[in-house]
Amino acid sequence: MTEKDLESVLKETRQFPPKPEFVAQARLNPDRLAGLYRTAERDHAGFWAQLAHTEVSWHRPFSQALDESRAPNYRWFADGTLNVAYNCLDRHLPARGEKIALIGEGEKGDVRTFTYKQLHAEISKLANGLRSLGLQPGDRVVIYMPMIPEAAMAMLACARLGLTHSVVFGGFSAQSLKDRIEDAGARVLITADGGTRAGQGVELKKVADEALERGCQTVEKVVVYRRTGQRIGWQDGRDLWWHELLAAQAPDCPPVWVEAEHPLFLLYTSGSTGKPKGIQHSSGGYLLNAIVTTQWVFDIRDDDVYWCTADVGWVTGHTYVVYGLLGNGATVLMYEGAPTQPDAGRFWKICQNHGVTIFYTAPTAIRALMKMGEDFPNRHDLSKLRLLGTVGEPINPEAWMWYHRVIGKENLPIVDTWWQTETGAIMIAPVPGATPTKPGSCTRPLPGIAADIVDGAGRPVRDAGAGGHLVITKPWPAMLRTLWGDNERYISTYWTPFKNRYYVAGDTAHRDADGYYWILGRSDDVLKVSGHRLGTMEVESALVSHPRVAEAAVVGRPHEIKGESIFAFVVCRDARPQGAEAENLVGELRAHVAQELGAIAKPDDIRFAEGLPKTRSGKIMRRLLRAIARGEPITQDVSTLENPAIVTQLQEKN
């Protein structure tokens, strides 16, 4: 930090050791985990090389694990060749051909299942279809689909041919889709006629047509999956039906062997300003991290039914719906719709009906369902669950405890995971059979991950509780390789701040006396109040610990005396307070935060709303909240919001 170390004022002392019965059957117990740490510490590159030999099937084995000659453009296993789809499908066929690979449930209740054998055949037919369009290894394909099994099939069909896919979240606007298509230079767009979300139709083909009308000169063909049967626009010679393209194709397609550094996918980080960043991930290194973290963090077993609620339009859907799980031969559930359709029990009903054993979701979803009360989960049989996880942002202790008590029945491990689109895979998380957990902490870096916290000059912060910038000090296999078409931006964004010594995550954190990491928020979300630097997450956690508060989001706005004041947006568990009730609750919440964190953390402004501006992936659009708090015009793209109408309410004073 340039002025003063980031202060941590959140005090959380509760700790939950792994249950002995879980430890007894876990992939990693404390002794095995300690052994992995020792091996990684002794020989960092050799540690990953050994895992790559045992966990990934290679067509041509690599001779060198880590190539640092072009740092910070690191290369892993560069002279080895493989195929990612082969690793996710073909190698499982002898032992798991009849095992269920994918379960797809639509919002209307329709359920489809695919065995590994069936999935292999469908993906092969699609790959043959794409090849018939003249696509060659290295060509880019954009995928703009609902959250259905065919989205995963499209990704794996591209991987089978050595095509680089770029999945664009199905809630993005035409302009956002156009920007991503043009930056990637995609030759083919794969989409659907439509989808269903929160009881409403989603017009994917219509949005895709609008995007293409605005440019996208590189797109030659549009492959359309018939999902809803709704009427759509059609351009002869360009548009092709998925089922017609596949009708004449063989159910087997030889995999294209590519080098480990071959770009598997591009994934664009959404930003309200500037050109989207095309995060470029490799094939071999990315796949390795995806596979081993799925084993370590989720303790994956052959009989698990695993459900991650993330959309494949985000990196969580790439790594922990598709590649990490299918790479391990697991059974994966995909759900197309909203968590509250037709009511707030939908997630729990799905868990019950499909016998879900591992459930991985976002803290925002947990808080939203927490607001709906305990009756909904209590109506359903969740006894098959054995492990819970969170992803996407720091989870506040109050939501963690609700998850632990109501969903986990105080008996299940919770893996709170920190990672990013850029990191490709989980970096800091508990290992459920070995790591005691603390509500709100992602605990310790995984084996082979060298993390640290540094101050503004890049010096390690060693005092327990003192905060700073979260950095990674050694390369890891799944790290982003560059930004598509803009390596200078890659270096300046992630490496230049500390003179190429560290990968800069852009998050702030502190480490406690036990070496546990606590993520405080993004570096640009740090509040600078009267010379004190506070993390937004801690103030939000204090607000949510009040019995009337379900969710909170905190931003800063300029203040002529303090430098910055704290502005909080609050969603109550009950009806939105107004008038005198709102005024009284504001005073009560300010006093509560002062008691929890100290007077310096009291919000100056508190505004009540019925919801927060979240994307359909559960991310809170904090830039939008900052604009509202400062009274600035809304310039952000709000097309991805779950409920765009909430913006008007957020702009209203209590």
Here the CATH number for the domain that contains residue 577 is 3.30.300.30
Reported pTM: 0.88
Give the strand pairing for 563-572 and 605-608: parallel
Tell me, what's the pLDDT at 608? Answer: 94
Q: To which H or E segment does residue 492 belong?
A: helix 487-494
Residue 426's Cβ-count burial label (10 Å; 0-12, 13-18, 19+) is: buried
Structural domain includes residue 116: no
Structural domain includes residue 530: yes
pLDDT per position as a tens digit, 386-402: 999 999 888 989 999 99
Structural domain includes residue 320: no
Q: State the amino acid at position 29 in one-letter form.
A: N
pLDDT per position as a tens digit, 282-311: 999 999 999 999 999 999 999 999 999 999
Those residues of the chain that have pLDDT short of 50 are 1-4, 271-273
Phi-psi region of 199 (alpha: psi -120 to 50; beta: other; left: phi over 0): left
Q: How far is CA 201 from CA 18, 142, 239, 250, in A?
A: 44, 22, 21, 33
Structural domain includes residue 602: yes
Q: How many folded domains does the chain comprise?
A: 1
Phi-psi region of 77 (alpha: psi -120 to 50; beta: other; left: phi over 0): left
Per-residue tokens: 521: 């928020």
Q: To which H or E segment does residue 635 belong?
A: none
Helices (H) and strands (E) in the chain, counts: 22, 30
- Map residue 581 onto helix, strand or coil: helix
Structural domain includes residue 604: yes
Structural domain includes residue 226: no
Q: To which H or E segment does residue 184 belong?
A: helix 174-184
What's the CA gap between 437 and 442, in Å, rounded?
Answer: 8
Tell me, what's the pLDDT at 88? Answer: 98
Tell me, what's the pLDDT at 13? Answer: 81
Q: How far is CA 289 from CA 264, 282, 286, 317, 507, in A?
A: 14, 11, 5, 15, 21
Q: Which domain holds residue 630?
A: 526-651
Structural domain includes residue 600: yes
- Map residue 417 onto helix, strand or coil: coil
Structural domain includes residue 108: no
Residue 224's Cβ-count burial label (10 Å; 0-12, 13-18, 19+) is: buried
Return the number of other C-beta atoms located less than 10 Å from residue 229's C-beta.
8
